[in-house]
Structure 1
Amino acid sequence: MPHSAPPSPLNPDLLALLASCRSAPADDTPRLVLADWLEEHAEVSGLPSADDARARAALIRVQVELAHPTSDAGRVIQLRSIERRLIATHSEHWLGDAARRFFELGHRPFGFAANLLVADRITTNTPVYSFDPFSPRNRWRFTRGLLSIELGESEQRDLELDAWFTSPLAAWVEEASITLGGVAALERLSACAGIRPYLGVRYAVGAAAFPTLRNPRPKQEEMTERRCKRLLRSANFSLVRELTLYGPAVEVGFLRMMVEANVTGVRRLVVKTALSDTNAALLASAPLVNLSALDVSGTELTADGMKFLAGAPHVKQLAVLSAYRNQFGCDGLVALAASPLVRTLNVLDLQNTGIGDRGVSALTQSSLLERLIGPALNLSMNPIGDAGAQALAVCEHLERFTELILRACRVSDVGATALAQSLYAYNLAYLDLWNNRISDAGANALASSPHLEDLRELSIRDNNVTAAGAEALCKRFVDRVRV
C-alpha cells in the first residue's frame, strides 16, 4: 500500500471531542458540539484546510438529521443530495491509503480460487482498483459524520491497516467493527496495537448460526451457564461494544451473570426475547455504565419492568431507548418521565406501548419532551384520547416538532379542536390523525385553524368525516390533505 504524506497533527481539543463521540455513539449531542467546534475553529483544527473542517461539520449535521425518521420526503432528498456531494468530494482524501487497502482485502480469493497460481490470480481474479465512494462492497461508511469500518476476523492483524490506524486520519473512526459468534472466536481475538483502540466487537449470545459462503456448515454453540460465564470472564469481552441477547442466553441466566461481570465496554444492547419483570430487574442492575443505546422493543415489557429500567442505578448516559411494541402503559411512562433518564434521553420510541392520556400528560409535564430530538413526535397505536391530545396542545415543547403522528389512537373532535387551536402547533408540517374518531366538527376546526399555515400534509383518513367535512378540509388545504 503506497503511503501518502502524513496529515498534520490534530488540535488536542478536536481529539478530545472525537473521543467523546466514540464514548457515547448513540448520542447526537457530542457530534453536534463537534460540528460547532469545527465551524468556529476551522483555521486551527489541524486539518488540511479550513474548508476541510467545514465540510466535515456539514457532513455531521446532514447525517445526524438523516438519522431521524421523517415524513418530509422533499427534505430527505435535499439532505441526501448534500450528503452525496460531500462524500464524493472529500471521502477519498478522508480515507487516505485505507481505501485501497480495504479494496484489496475485500477482493481476496477464497476457497478453490485461493489455490490458483499467483500469476493467474493477478490476471483473472483481481479487479483493477478504482475509488468508488458509493460501492455497496465498501467496508467503510460515514455514520453521522464519523467513519465506521467493518473488519473481517483476519483483518484485525493486517499490518498495513495497522499503520493507517496510527495516522491522524484514524481519529475520525468511530469504530472498527468485527462481528463474532462463539466463545472461542472472542477468546482468540488478537488485534494489532494500532487497530485495537478502535476495535468494537458485535456479539450475539444465544443466536442461531446461519451458513455463509465462507462457513457453509457453522457449528451451533450450545448455550450453557458454564459457557456464558466463560464468555463474560474473557479478557476480550471488554471489546464488546454491541451486545445482542437471544432467548437461549437469557434462559440460562446470562442477565443474572451480567450483574457481577465487567460489562462497562458495552455501548449498545439489544434484547431479542421476552423480558420478565425479574429479568428486567437484573438488566437494570447490570453495571452498564457506558450504555448509550438500549433496544427492548417487542420484549413484553410490563409497567414494573419499565420502572426497573427507568431506575437503573448504573445507566448514566443512555441517549436512545427503543421500547415500542410493549404494554408498559401509563404507569411505565410515568415512571420513565420521573426518572433520571429524562436528563440523558434524546430518542424515545413509544409506538404501540399501551400509553393513554395519563401517560401523555406525564410526558408533557416532564423535561423529557424538551430533550427529545425531532422532527417527529410519534405516539401512534396507543389508546390516547382527547385528554392526551389536549395535553399536547397546551405543551410549549410541541413547537420543537414539525411532525405529530397520532395514528390509530382514540382522538375525537374535542382533541382535534384542541390541536387546531394550539398556540404551539405553528411549526407542524405534517399532522397524522389517521384512524381516530374525528367527525365533521373536528374536521371543520382543523380547516379553520389559524396556526396550521405551514402544514404540508394532513392525514385524516379512516375517521368519521363526511363529504361536508372533507370539502371544508380540501378547501383549506387543497391537495395537502388525505381524507
Structure 2
Amino acid sequence: MFRPGAAVSRRRRGRQRELPVPPPLNPDLLGLLASCRAAPADDTPRLVLADWLDEHADVSGLPSPGDARARAALLRVQVELARPTCDEGHVAALRAEERRLLVAHAEGWLGSLPRRLHELTHPVFGFAQQLAAARPPQPFTFEPLTPFKPWRFTRGLLNIDLRAETVDDPELGAWFASPLAAWTEEACVDVAASRELERLALPDPMRPYFGVRLAVGAAEFPTLLRPRPDPGDTDERRCRRLLRSAKFGLVRELVLFPPALDAGFLRLMAGANVSNVQRLAVRAALSDADAAFLSSAALTNLSALNVSATQLTAAGVRQLAHAPHLRQLVSLVAYRNGLGCDGLVALVESPLAQTLNVLEVQNTGIGDRGAVALARSPLLGRLHGPGLNLSMNPIADEGARALAACEHLPRFRELILRDCTVGDAGAAALASSPNVADLSILDLWQNRIGDTGARALAGSPHLDGLDVLSLRDNRITAGGAAALRARFGDRVKL
C-alpha cells in the first residue's frame, strides 16, 4: 500500500553525505557577527570583522586559517561591490573574485541548508509523489552561482529567504542551532498583511536571525492563495492593530505604500514600539506633516532610510535630520526630491553629518550653495566611495570650485556631475586642483563647458590617472575636442 510519506522518507535516505558540523566559534568572533547584524547598512562592522579574521585566523574557531581568510576576502569584495561605481572593469574583477570564493567555499559554509531549502520550495504532490516513490531519489546538486535561490551572501554575510509555512521545519531548526548559522545576517519572511504576521510561528534556534519584511499598503493581486484581496487591510483600525501586535517586534524591514500613509500609519508609528525596524522605505508622497510624524517615531535602531521620489521638501529634511531617534542612521537615500540648497544645508549642519556613510541626493535641486556647504562639511569625509555622485542638480561653477578645493575629494575615485550647469570656470577649477589626482572617472556629461574649459582639462597636470573623461553634450567645438583627444585619446568621451 502506498503511504504519502514514503517518497519523502526514501528521498531523505538517498541524500548525499552531510558535511561535517564545524566546531564552536571564538566568542569575540560571535560578538563581531552580532554587531554586523545590529547595523545592517553599516560597512564598518563588516570591515572590522574582516580585519579580525585575518589577524586571528588561527584562533577563530573556523575549520582552518584559510577558511577564515576566505571569509574575510568575501566580506571585503562584496562590501566593495555594494558601493555604486561607474568603473565596469573594477566591477568585473570583483565579480570574478566573488565567483572564485563562492565556488571554492560556499558548500562548506552552507552545509545542508541549500538542499533543505530546495526541498521546501519544490514539494512533490499527488501522482508525482507516487512516481517519485517508484524510482531512485535524485541527488541534490549544489550550484553556488545560480541566480535564483533562497539564499545569498550579501556584503559577506548570509541572507536567507523563507516562507511563513516552513519556518518551523525541524531540519531548518537544526541548521540554525549549528555554528554555521552564526554567519547569517538575516533569515527573512515577506509579509503583506497583518493577519499573516500574526500567524507566524518561530522556533527558538531561529530567533537571533529571524526578521520580517513587511509591506503595508502594497497592491495585492489575486492568486491561488488569495483569490479576493482585501482592500480594507490598511484601514486605520488594522494599522493600529498591526503596530500593537507583539509580532511587530519581528519586523526588520518596513515598506510603506500610499494606502498606508492615507490610513495614518506614520502618525500611528509615532506612539508605537518600532525600535526593532532596521530598514525603512517610503513609496508615497511625504508631506511636511508626514515627515514630522516619521521624525517622532522611536526608530532607535534604524540603519537605512529610503525616501527617494517622495516629494520631500527642505522642511521635511530638516525634521528628519534633527530627529532625536535617528542616531543609528548610516544610509539616507533621498534622490528625486525637492530638497534644494536649504535641505542639504540643514542636513550637513545636523547630527546626521556625524553618522551617515551613504547619501544619495541626485536630482534634488541642489545648487552652488548646497554644494559649497557639502564640500565644507565633515559629512563628505565620512561618505563611502568610490563615487561622489551629485548628478542632475543645478550645480554651477561656484559649486565645482568648492568641490575642487575640498580636502575630502581625494577619497573618491569617481566624481559624477552629469547634467549639472558647470561651465568653463568650474572645469578649469577642477583641472587645476591637485585633489583630482586620484580620480579614475570624471563625468561632466551635459554641462555648459566650452573650448576654454576643454583646453584647461586637456592641459591639467593632475588628470594623468583618468580612465574615463566624459564630456558629451557640452559646448565643445572641433578645436577643444582636438585638444582633448591629443591628451586623453580614447579615454575622453565626446
TM-score (norm 1): 0.97
Which whole-Å CA distance do the structure 1 matches of 2:160 and 2:339 have between them?
37
Q: Please show how residues 9-158 of structure 1 align to structure 2 within 5 Å.
A: 9-109=24-124, 114-116=125-127, 118-122=129-133, 128-158=139-169
Cα RMSD between the aligned structures? Answer: 1.5
Which whole-Å CA distance do the structure 2 matches of 1:417 and 1:425 have between them?
12
Which whole-Å CA distance do the structure 2 matches of 1:220 and 1:308 have between them?
32
Contact 2:193 2:233 in 1 (8 A): no
Alignment partner of 1:372 is 2:387: no
SS at match of 1:90: helix
Q: Which residue, 275, 281, 306 being the options, matches 2:317? A: 306
Q: Please show how residues 277-316 of structure 1 align to structure 2 within 5 Å.
A: 277-316=288-327
Q: Please show how residues 132-281 of structure 1 align to structure 2 within 5 Å.
A: 132-212=143-223, 215=226, 218-281=229-292
* Paired AA for residue 61 in structure 1: R
- Note the C-alpha offset of 1:154: 1.1
* Paired AA for residue 51 in structure 1: G
**Structure 1 runs of 4+ off > 3 angstroms?**
1-5, 121-128, 211-222
Report Cα offsets for 1:69-89 as digits up to 9, x if no partner.
Answer: 111111111000000000000
Q: Which residue, 332, 340, 344 being the options, matches 1:329? A: 340
* Paired AA for residue 385 in structure 1: A
Which whole-Å CA distance do the structure 2 matches of 1:175 and 1:205 have between them?
20
Which whole-Å CA distance do the structure 2 matches of 1:99 and 1:222 have between them?
34
* Paired AA for residue 140 in structure 1: W
Alignment partner of 1:465 is 2:476: yes
Q: Please show how residues 409-424 of structure 1 align to structure 2 within 5 Å.
A: 409-424=420-435
Which whole-Å CA distance do the structure 2 matches of 1:220 and 1:209 have between them?
8
Which whole-Å CA distance do the structure 2 matches of 1:123 and 1:234 have between them?
47
Which residue pairs with 2:412 in the alignment? 401
SS at match of 1:269: strand
Relative to structure 1, the CA distance from residue 22 to residue 444 in structure 2 (aligned partners, 3 Å threshold; closer, same or farther) is same
Report Cα offsets for 1:30-52 as digits up to 9, x if no partner.
Answer: 00010010011111101010000
Contact 1:107 1:127 in 2 (8 A): no
Which whole-Å CA distance do the structure 1 matches of 2:112 and 2:338 have between them?
51
Contact 2:334 2:361 in 1 (8 A): yes
Which whole-Å CA distance do the structure 2 matches of 1:12 and 1:389 have between them?
49
- Note the C-alpha offset of 1:423: 1.3
- Note the C-alpha offset of 1:153: 1.2
* Paired AA for residue 368 in structure 1: L
Q: Which residue, 338, 357, 368 being the options, matches 1:357? A: 368
- The gaps in structure 2 that reach 5 residues or longer are 1-11
SS at match of 2:342: helix
Q: Identical aligned pairs, as a percentage?
A: 61
TM-score (norm 2): 0.95
Which whole-Å CA distance do the structure 2 matches of 1:170 and 1:370 have between them?
35
Which whole-Å CA distance do the structure 1 matches of 2:216 and 2:243 have between them?
11
Contact 2:416 2:444 in 1 (8 A): yes
- Note the C-alpha offset of 1:138: 1.9
Report Cα offsets for 1:323-357 as digits up to 9, x if no partner.
Answer: 00001111100010011111211110010000111
- Note the C-alpha offset of 1:121: 3.6
* Paired AA for residue 86 in structure 1: L
* Paired AA for residue 107 in structure 1: H
Which whole-Å CA distance do the structure 1 matches of 2:223 and 2:438 have between them?
49
Which whole-Å CA distance do the structure 2 matches of 1:399 and 1:390 have between them?
15
Which whole-Å CA distance do the structure 2 matches of 1:123 and 1:149 have between them?
33
- Note the C-alpha offset of 1:364: 1.0
Report Cα offsets for 1:395-452 as digits up to 9, x if no partner.
Answer: 0100000100101111000000000011100011101111111100000000000000
Q: Please show how residues 376-387 of structure 1 align to structure 2 within 5 Å.
A: 376-387=387-398
Relative to structure 1, the CA distance from residue 107 to residue 117 in structure 2 (aligned partners, 3 Å threshold; closer, same or farther) is closer
Return 118-127 or 10-19, whichever deviates more: 118-127
* Paired AA for residue 90 in structure 2: R
Relative to structure 1, the CA distance from residue 43 to residue 221 in structure 2 (aligned partners, 3 Å threshold; closer, same or farther) is farther
- Note the C-alpha offset of 1:118: 3.2
- Note the C-alpha offset of 1:3: 5.0
Relative to structure 1, the CA distance from residue 334 to residue 43 in structure 2 (aligned partners, 3 Å threshold; closer, same or farther) is same
Q: Please show how residues 446-457 of structure 1 align to structure 2 within 5 Å.
A: 446-457=457-468
- Note the C-alpha offset of 1:119: 2.7
Alignment partner of 1:320 is 2:331: yes
Report Cα offsets for 1:286-333 as digits up to 9, x if no partner.
Answer: 000000000000000000000001011001111110000001111100
Which whole-Å CA distance do the structure 2 matches of 1:90 and 1:50 have between them?
13
SS at match of 2:204: coil
Contact 2:19 2:108 in 1 (8 A): no
SS at match of 1:261: coil
- Note the C-alpha offset of 1:134: 1.6
Relative to structure 1, the CA distance from residue 229 to residue 77 in structure 2 (aligned partners, 3 Å threshold; closer, same or farther) is same
- The gaps in structure 1 that reach 5 residues or longer are none
Which whole-Å CA distance do the structure 1 matches of 2:459 and 2:471 have between them?
15
Which whole-Å CA distance do the structure 2 matches of 1:212 and 1:26 have between them?
33
- Note the C-alpha offset of 1:115: 2.6
Which residue pairs with 1:441 in the alignment? 452
Relative to structure 1, the CA distance from residue 370 to residue 126 in structure 2 (aligned partners, 3 Å threshold; closer, same or farther) is farther
- Note the C-alpha offset of 1:125: 12
